Amino acid sequence: MTHLQAFVLPSSVTGTASDIELGRELMRAWQADGIFQVASDLVQRDRTRDAIQAGRRFFRMPSERKARHVSDLTYSGYIASGSPPAGFMTRASCPSSRRCGA
């Protein structure tokens, strides 16, 4: 990584060609550098602050309440600590011909 790439996000994403290209640029930066920077205005900063506060409130909830939000999709929802995502195979249950997690 020679420099931290910075991006300005639109106020909304609707799937236009420029939205899709921005998404591709974000993925390329993340894949190449493992990090990127997002420039924000005051409204976006407020939204980010609110989202972080909501996340903190969620993770302070009792496990039983958070468990209601578990998803069987591996990319979405809450995964309880120590619980593998649905479809995840441990080394003990993994056929030798497949790549599996620990």
Q: What is the pLDDT of residues 10-29, one digit of tens each?
A: 888 999 999 999 999 999 99
Res. 63 pLDDT band, cuts 50 70 90: confident
Q: 35: which 2 tokens?
A: 């990090």
| Spatial separation of the C-alpha atoms in residues 46 and 53, rounded to whole Å | 11
Q: What is the pLDDT of residues 72-91, one digit of tens each?
A: 666 555 566 666 655 554 54
| Spatial separation of the C-alpha atoms in residues 11 and 31, rounded to whole Å | 24
pLDDT of residue 102 exceeding 50: no
17, 35, 87 from 49: Cα distances, Å: 29, 20, 34
| Spatial separation of the C-alpha atoms in residues 50 and 43, rounded to whole Å | 11
Q: Please, what is the end-to-end C-alpha distance for the chain in angstroms?
A: 29
